[in-house]
Amino acid sequence: MPEALFLEMYRAMLLIRLFEEQARDLFMKNMMRGATHSYIGEEAIAVGVCAALDRADTITSTHRGHGHCLAKGGDPRQMMAELLGRATGYCKGKGGSMHIADLDLGILGANGIVGGGISLAAGAAFAAKYRGDGAVCACFFGDGAINQGSFHETANMAGLWKLPLIYVCERNLFAEFSYSDRYFADQDLTKRAIPFGFPGVEIDGNDVLAVYQAAQEAIARARRGEGPTLMVANSYRIMGHTIGDPLTYRVKGEVDQWQDSLHDPILRFRRYLLAEQGFSESRLAELESEVSTEIDAAVQFALGSPEPELFTLWEDVLGGNPDD
Amino acid sequence: MTERIIEFREALNEALHEEMERDASVFIMGIDVGQYGGVLKVSKGIYERFGPLRAVDTPISEEGFTGMGVGAALAGLRPVVELMYIDFSCLAMEPIINQAAKARYIFGGKANVPLVIRTQGGGGRGNAAQHSQSLEAVYAHIPGLIVVQPATPKDAKGLLKSAIRNDNPVIFIEHKLLYNTKGPVPEGEYLIPLGVADVKRPGSDVTIVASSRMVLFALNAAEKLAGEGIHAEVLDIRTLKPLDMETIGDSVRKTHRLVIVSEGARSGGFAAEVMARAYEEVFDYLDAPIVRVTAEDVPLPYNERLELAALPSEQKIIDAVHGLF
């Protein structure tokens, strides 16, 4: 694996972490409206998968979507501006945290509905097959969403039609305000692929290289026309369902072990880069400083951006070229 | 332009054939739309002509395949998804209402969703409560959707072609008792624009606004009323959303009386919307209160006598008009 790719993965994970820390702080300072959902602790999944995708490939995301968007190349400045509801945001301030999309980058949107992106992903994969362009779609969703009908309905069709689709189930152990294992008739989620005739693989979702390798295999299979793969990526949702969640349902102290250097995906990868790949402490520190500067700039850009003009309220309900 | 007399379903079928010939990104998808030719036979011959990738037979998974339609539209294709009955669209409300209708707006105007959902609505055939609903008002309530209800074969074809070329999600509702109706349809290429009402019969004494099969009821009623010397103007709104209030307003300013016919249930129905808009915009021109003729507020019953009593009828329209004079 080229050195640049290691560094890019590390940079991307760090970018997500720092973005989410800033988003958390801004939310706690009442500078964001509504709700926001943090991807802290799950960075290796989005980064490992997206590192294996091409630009022409698509992704669908979730309510916990900042990480997917950044990993696929989303602009942190436009994202942060959107979180603050500014006119310069990805959605001109109309979408907020849960609706960021960048269609040019193949990001078909975060999604406010649990499981809402799953059928969209199957449609994007269908479009790729229809065009025969060799693209694939990576569909991110949580272990809460895997119980939705949209997963089972589209998994059947994706298996039936061998769609170039990668189901990435982020098993972060929580379904909203519950431990998700309370809701699985069988705890082995890889079995959810079996009835639909495609492989289900379980991976360490906090090991970015393991995710990357599994994603490469799934993507290659999809590009060969052999159909979907279900990746179940084990991880842990460090924050609550939303920022500000009192976490009364969670075992006390449990989160601590997931944040130590053996579990945290960024600390783990950093250790690996130093010990196994021979990167110097100063090289990584330099990168860390660059990412920190980039996120600070994104926050400054957002804070300095104007609110949307009132007339935009009525824009973009309908549009396009009706009679092209 | 030369015209032929063809069935409503044939007109729709021609629209599909023509648009699929014209644009390789158009495909149809739904339950039995391909090999079987559609339960309504609207997609007859499409599978044979365009093959399985463009005439996609789906499992009975309405949420799944409708959502796939939304995703395919976001990815640049032009899906025409058939939901066999509008009642089944309830299974697909998530992708329709939460995804398709909102994608353009919440993504800051950057997304096109060129999706058509063709579906069968309406009662009168004894299909009972889960296969007879008129849910157009539900979809017309949702910002971001266009809602179309053609009444004639000519309109059906021209509106469907426009819907397929439109970059927004369109709910295209076909009445189950219109498929076999016949009417003149021009030879060759034509479009009927979305969002434009049509004066189906000019008149001077009262405006009757209707859509879909209710237009035929209104025309029959107008014919009988003419025998009594009451000249009703029948407006076919064709597109419920966006609603062509200009044409409705122009007519009411001329006739000073308005009857609205809608097959949906009365409470919160589309007739209520037209009535409210008319009171807001042309109140000063009215010589009588606006009256609506709608279905009763009941699930549609199976028994013919009960069902007919629940639905609007020609006679109910005539009675409503009589009440205005």
Whether residue B238 is found in the same domain as residue B120:
no
pLDDT tens-digit map of A158-175 = 999 999 999 999 999 999
Note whether B125 and B236 are same-domain residues: no
Percent of chain B with pLDDT over 90: 99
Residues B14 and B163 in one domain: yes
The reply to whether B314 belongs to the active site is no
Instruction: Confirm if B11 and B157 have CB atoms less than 8 A apart.
Output: yes
Residues of chain A with Cβ-Cβ distance to B92 below 8 Å are none
- Catalytic hit among B62, B82, B263, B307: B62
Q: Give CA separation, B143 vs A90, A94, B79, B146, B242, in Å.
A: 21, 14, 20, 8, 10
Is B189 at the interface with chain A, CB within 8 A? Answer: no
Is the per-residue pLDDT at B203 higher than 80? yes
Distance in Å, alpha carbon of A126 to nearest chain B alpha carbon:
7
B107 touches chain A (CB under 8 A): yes
pTM of this prediction?
A: 0.96
CATH number at residue A128: 3.40.50.970
Q: End of a domain among B186, B211, B239?
A: B186
Q: What is the dihedral of CA B37, B41, B42, B48, to 10 degrees?
A: 30
Kindly identify which residue of chain B lies nearest to residue A153, measuring between CA atoms: B64
Residue A321, domain member (yes or no): no
For the cut 90, the answer to whether the pLDDT of residue A6 exceeds it is yes
Domain that holds residue B72: 3-186
Q: Are residues B204 and B298 in the same domain?
A: yes
Spell out the residues 6+ positions from residue A285 whose beta carbon is closer than 8 angstroms to its own. Answer: none
Q: How far apart are the CA of A167 and the nearest CA of chain B, in angstroms?
A: 14
- Could you tell me which chain A residue has the CA closest to the CA of B68? A123
Q: Is A244 inside a domain boundary?
A: yes
Instruction: Kindly list the distances between the CA atom of residue A213 and the CA atoms of A150, A218, B108, in Å, as whole numbers in the listed order.
Output: 27, 9, 35
Q: Is residue A310 part of a domain?
A: no
Closest by Cβ to B106, choosing from A99, A129, A137:
A99
Chain A residues lying within 8 Å of B69, measured CB to CB:
123
pLDDT at position A320 is: 84
Specify whether B131 is catalytic.
yes
Question: Is residue B192 included in any domain, yes or no?
Answer: no
Pair A101, B107: CB distance under 8 Å: yes
> Nearest-CA distance from A163 to chain B in Å?
11
Mean pLDDT of chain B: 97
Beta carbons of B111 and A160 less than 8 Å apart: no
Which SS3 state, helix, strand or coil, does residue B206 take?
A: strand
Residue B57 touches chain A, beta carbons under 8 Å: no
Same domain for B146 and B103: yes
Please provide residue A141's backbone torsions phi and psi, each rounded to the nearest 5 degrees: -160, 165
Q: Is residue B144 part of a domain?
A: yes
CA B115/CA B95 separation, integer angstroms? 11
**A157 and B64: CB-CB below 8 Å?**
yes
CA atoms within 13 A on the CB side of B312: 32
**Structure confidence by residue, pLDDT tens digits, A95-120:** 999 999 999 999 999 999 999 999 99
Residue B257 burial (CB count, 10 A): 24
* Cross-chain Cβ contact B71/A109 below 8 Å: no
What is the CB neighbour count within 10 angstroms for residue A265? 27
What are the distances in angstroms from CA B294 to CA B237, B316, B317? 16, 9, 10
Q: Are residues B111 and B216 in the same domain?
A: no
* Count of the separate structural domains present in chain A: 1
Q: How many whole angstroms separate alpha carbon B95 and alpha carbon A150?
A: 10
**In-domain check, residue B282:** yes
* Residue among B58, B95, B103 whose CB faces A109 most closely: B103
B186, B212, B229: which is the final residue of a domain? Answer: B186
The answer to whether residues B156 and B287 belong to one domain is no
Q: Which residues of B touch A130 (CB under 8 A)?
A: 27, 53-54, 72, 77
Q: Degrees (nearest 5) of the Cα angle A260, A263, A265?
A: 110
The answer, yes or no, to whether residue A93 has pLDDT greater than 90, is: yes
Residues of B in contact with A319 (CB under 8 A): 104, 109, 112, 167-168
- pLDDT for B1 equals 72
Query: What is the least distance, in Å, from the CA of A276 to any CA of chain B?
Result: 41
- In chain B, residues with a C-beta closer than 8 Å to the C-beta of A111 are 99
pLDDT of residue A324: 42
Substitution target from B66, B80, B106, B117 for chain A, most A beta carbons within 10 A:
B106
In chain A, whose CA is at the least distance from the CA of B100?
Answer: A120
The last residue of a domain, from among B149, B166, B186 = B186
Specify whether B54 is located in the same domain as B203: no
Residue B96 DSSP code: I
Residue pair B147/B195 in contact by the 8 Å Cβ criterion? no
Domain carrying residue A244: 3-298
pLDDT digits (tens, 9 = 90+) for A170-208: 999 999 999 999 999 999 999 999 999 999 999 999 999
- Is A306 contained in some domain? no
Q: Which residues are bridge partners to B148 per DSSP?
A: B172, B239
| A83 to chain B, closest Cα gap in Å | 13
Q: Which amino acid is at B39?
A: V
pLDDT in tens, B226-262: 999 999 999 999 999 999 999 999 999 999 999 999 9
In a domain, B193, yes or no: no
Contact B239/A at CB under 8 A: no
Which tens digit of pLDDT belongs to each residue from A25-80?
A: 999 999 999 999 999 999 999 999 999 999 999 999 999 999 999 999 999 999 99
Say if residue B181 is in the same domain as residue B207.
no
What CATH number does the domain containing B224 carry?
Answer: 3.40.50.920
**Does residue B299 form part of some domain?**
yes
Mark residue B290 as left, alpha or beta (left: phi above 0; alpha: psi -120 to 50; beta: remaining). Answer: beta
Structure tokens at B260: 């609205």
Q: Residue A1 pLDDT more than 90?
A: no
Q: How far is A19 from chain B (nearest CA, A)?
A: 20
Q: How far apart are CA B38 and CA B81, in angstroms?
A: 11
In this predicted structure, the answer to whether residue B101 has a pLDDT above a threshold of 70 is yes
Q: Which residues does residue B29 pair with via DSSP β-bridges, in sequence order?
A: B56, B81
Q: Is residue A193 part of a domain?
A: yes
Q: Is B138 within a domain?
A: yes
> Which long-range CB contacts under 8 A does B264-267 form with residues at least 24 apart?
B264/B134, B264/B135, B264/B136, B264/B137, B264/B294, B264/B295, B265/B134, B265/B294, B265/B295, B265/B296, B265/B297, B265/B298, B266/B292, B266/B294, B266/B295, B266/B296, B266/B297, B267/B297
pLDDT higher than 60, residue A302: yes
Give A99's contacts in chain B (Cβ within 8 Å).
106-107
Residue numbers in B near A154 (CB within 8 A)? 61, 64, 67-68
B24 shares contact with chain A (CB less than 8 Å): no
- Are residue B23 and residue B166 in the same domain, yes or no? yes
Q: Is B144 on the interface with A (CB under 8 A)?
A: yes
Q: What is the pLDDT of residues B110-131, one digit of tens each?
A: 999 999 999 999 999 999 999 9
Put simply, whether B34 touches A (Cβ < 8 Å) is: no
Contact B109 A316 (CB under 8 A): yes
Q: Please report whether residue B191 resides in a domain.
A: no
Based on the structure, what is the number of domains in chain B?
A: 2
- Nearest chain B residue to A86 by CA: give it: B108
Assigned domain for A195 exists = yes
Q: Do A153 and B61 touch (CB under 8 A)?
A: yes
Backbone angles phi, psi at A169, to 5 degrees: -90, 115
> Same domain for B232 and B270?
yes
Least CB–CB distance from B106: residue in A95, A149, A321: A95
Residue B227 C-alpha, separation from nearest chain A C-alpha, in angstroms? 42
Q: What is the CATH number of the domain that holds B23?
A: 3.40.50.970
Residues B129 and B12 grouped into a single domain: yes
